[in-house]
Amino acid sequence: MAYENFNVETDADGIALVTWDIPGKSMNVIDETSGAELAAIIEQMTSDAAVKGVVITSGKDAFCAGADLTMLERMNRTYAEMLSSQGEEVANKYVFDEARKLSQSFRNIEVGGKPWVAAINGTALGGGFELTLACHYRIASDNPKTRVGLPEVKVGIFPGGGGTQRLPRMMPTMDAVQMLFKGEAIDLKKAQDRGIIGEVVPAADLIQRAKDWIKVGGKAVAPWDEKGFKLPGGPVYSKEGAQFFQPAAAMLRRETYDNYPGARAILQCVYEGLQLPMDTALRVESRYFSKILRSNEAAAMIRSLFMSMQELNKGARRPPNVPPIKVKKIAVIGAGFMGASVGFVSAQAGIDVVLIDRDQDAADKGKGHSKANIDAAVSKGRMKRADGEAILSRITATADYNAISDCDLVIEAVFEDRKVKAETYAKAQPLLKEGAIFATNTSTLPINSLAEEWKDQSKFIGIHFFSPVEKMMLSEIIVGKNTGDVALATALDYVRQIKKTPIVVNDSRGFFANRCVMLFLFEGYEMLLEGVPPAMIENTAKMAGMPVGPLSLNDETALDLGLKILRATEADIGAQAINQDHKKLLVELVEKRGRLGRKNGKGFYDYPEKGKGQKKLWPELTTLQPKHLDPDTLDVEELKQRFLVVQAVEAARTVEDDVITDPREADVGSILGFGFPPFTGGTLSYIDFMGTKKFVEQCLKLEKKYGSRFTPPKLLIDMAAKNETFYGRFPPKKAAAA
Ligand code: NAD
């Protein structure tokens, strides 16, 4: 039988080689066609008496990237349609039956009576990895880039093709659950240590060795289908089981605050499944899977963290009239905290970098940052010395501005001071080569005002990096009113070259990300001044899903910087533009108590010396509170809500102000840029999934109690009246260069 996505060849020994190779795609994914063909192949292999065993491999560099998430999204849409047309029972059955198909196919491999070997020639993730787990043996070729794992939890779902059952039957329950919770993709050495991969062999020998395993009598029965099978981590109801499951439930709560139904379902599947025979256990997994797939959290995370992110990375916002640009050489002016890191990530991406500062020493210090990064990576075994040397050789440190004259892109990261920036622009302007672009990394100064220093404003743009640049995956590109298409296209192409995700926003004070996250920090000040115990402020923010509390985040970004920004805003727009109580609080902390944040070991927290314990909330903080509320009288749900609503309503204002023109950018930007809870799908999805009407009601309730920071903008009120969503009213633009 001929298949579209698979090639099947049976050799003289009766061993079939199934090669997965979806035509026209760079990666194999499990979609409707591949899934159906795979089911047919499994049936054919099982029923064909001439086939003695099966080796499955891939014709691509990687084995399989996992399930096609757009297929899951389609399933969800069909579910919604069926729900309204045929009712809940029929719709639920549809999702369950669909979820069951793949799991059943994999089980058919396991119990079909023929030995199957997975010849893993490259990375195998998600459903692709689950397919290999259902095979009776796994051999991998020794490719250092290969990773195996189950990353589903990262998009709000979990492995529904047997992964939650097979892994804890192969390794101690704790290791399996950790791997499932973290969505970790591990290398072959770890996979071998954990007993997932049997052998690692040279690529040229892979298929032969897989066939040999069958020829020498490889068993066509999984260990758990044999009599006397013992779980590696012990039965659920045993001393070992009790030692694991009770703390595991507590750990899950500590890590997720129960905001992620997908993560909870992993533990439920493992707990219930390990008490059952495999077939029933797999049905249990499918039930949970179909339930999680229908959750808002899964829909929101798949949309924002997979589809939207992919679309933005593919250049959804790129002007289609500009041909692709490969940035070969950049200059970074200002080799300080940010500039040095921008230089490093660029050189790491193969771009030549000139680091310019006021004098040679300062420029050298900037390059020294790259050396320190490289030394640390080499000593941890994460980088080869030669690769590190190659990165360093691409960086030139100098105080001479003439060095920018052959650069495709210049990024300015000098002090956040209009005068200093203007001086830099005056010096750089005449030296730019034809077609080169100039970007500023300012975090607060409006781009349009800085553009006034430029003769040709079309080449001026903002590229806002987030600190630490090496870790943060977002870059916010700010388009001024006269920024040209070439500047935008260059900025987007450069951001992709350094492997960050770009969002494109229009100019405004604080742009998008800082506007929203500032309100999160301010809400922390507000609660402090109201008398909420500091620990409760921090904990409720984390319970709401933020990665850290507002006081902690403030310490990281530095309290003196916060004060500086308040003062600059006051100077630019007037005293009414800021909250004077916030300023007073910061003046007290920074100027009277010398508390600058983590950088001097004293902020809202006290920081012990390195290696000497953990940070602790500064005990005297409560003395700065004008009053103290009894925690038992506080409404925890309302505190949580305030943190998210205050950021989301600001995000809605950025849409009204035309700073955000595409909802995907607010969503992806808020998750990657400042850790808005991923399970919500981002600031605007948070509103969409709640329902605009309900969100406006919440805003009005909070406005009445706490003031105008919760006042919903007109746009939201209008949308609520028409029952509109952001994605409905502002449909995302199609990718120009898919
Ligand atoms: P920094 O003080 O660490 O670095 C600034 C560097 O610019 C210094 O090395 C200084 O010597 C150099 N410099 C000053 N004038 C110069 C000139 N005329 N020519 C060449 N070099 C000059 O500051 P930073 O924190 O790296 O901030 C730089 C820019 O990045 C600012 O605009 C800031 O708003 C922005 N930014 C900072 C962060 C952050 O978290 N610190 C985040 C995003 C953006």
The per-residue b/e assignment along 367-385, b for 16 or more CB within 10 angstroms, e otherwise, is bebbbebbeebbeeeebee
What's the distance, CA 308 to chain centroid?
Answer: 11
Ligand 1 nearest atom to the CA of residue 340, by list position: 26
Sequence-ordered list of residues with C-beta below 8 angstroms from that of 179, at least 6 positions apart, any chain: 149, 150, 167, 186, 194
Summarised one tens digit per residue, pLDDT across range 97-118 is 998 999 999 999 999 999 999 9
Residue in the structure block whose two tokens are 């993709």: 185
Between the CA of 484 and the centroid of ligand 1 the distance, in Å, is 25
Summarised one tens digit per residue, pLDDT across range 679-704 is 999 999 999 999 999 999 999 999 99
Question: In the predicted model, what is the mean pLDDT of the chain?
Answer: 95
Q: Which of 607, 364, 396 is nearest to 372 (CA)?
A: 364
Q: Is 680 exposed, middle or buried (0-12, 13-18, 19+ CB in 10 A)?
A: buried
Pick from 414, 559, 599 the residue to mutate for probing ligand 1's pocket: most ligand atoms within 8 Å of its CB.
414
Catalogue the long-range contacts made by 275-281 (C-beta closer than 8 Å, 24 or more residues apart).
275/235, 275/236, 275/237, 278/107, 278/110, 278/165, 278/169, 278/222, 278/224, 278/225, 279/107, 281/165
Summarised one tens digit per residue, pLDDT across range 225-257 is 999 999 999 999 999 999 999 999 999 999 999
Summarised one tens digit per residue, pLDDT across range 263-293 is 999 999 999 999 999 999 999 999 999 999 9
pLDDT score, position 458: 97
Would you say residue 738 has pLDDT above 90?
A: no
Q: Which phi and psi (to 5°) does residue 250 adopt?
A: -65, -40
The confidence band for 735, taking pLDDT boundaries of 50, 70 and 90, is low
CB 186 within 8 A of CB 147: yes
Helix, strand, coil percent content, the chain, rounded in steps of 5: 55, 10, 30
- Residue closest via CA to ligand 1's atom 8 equals 336
Cα 409 to Cα 228: distance, rounded to the nearest angstrom: 66
Ligand 1 nearest atom to the CA of residue 399, by list position: 20
Return the percentage of the chain with pLDDT > 90, whole number.
93
Ligand 1 nearest atom to the CA of residue 440, by list position: 32
pLDDT score, position 634: 97
Summarised one tens digit per residue, pLDDT across range 326-380 is 999 999 999 999 999 999 999 999 999 999 999 999 999 999 999 999 999 999 9
Cα 351 to Cα 62: distance, rounded to the nearest angstrom: 27
Would you say residue 400 has pLDDT above 90?
A: yes
DSSP class per residue in 647-660: HHHHHHHHHHTTS-
Residue 17's DSSP bridge partners are 9, 55
CB 525 within 8 A of CB 646: no
Between the CA of 706 and the centroid of ligand 1 the distance, in Å, is 36
- Ligand 1 shell residues, CB under 6 Å: 333-339, 356-358, 362, 413-416, 420, 423-424, 441-443, 465, 467
Between the CA of 513 and the centroid of ligand 1 the distance, in Å, is 19
Between the CA of 369 and the centroid of ligand 1 the distance, in Å, is 14
When pLDDT is averaged across residues 135-155 and rounded to a whole number, the result is 96
**Catalytic residue ranges:** 464
Between the CA of 427 and the centroid of ligand 1 the distance, in Å, is 17
Alpha helices in 302-437 (DSSP H): 309-313, 337-348, 360-379, 385-393, 418-428
Return the percentage of the chain with pLDDT > 70, whole number.
99
Pick from 344, 415, 425, 472 the residue to mutate for probing ligand 1's pocket: most ligand atoms within 8 Å of its CB.
415
Gyration radius of the chain's alpha carbons: 28
Task: Tell me how long the chain is.
Answer: 738
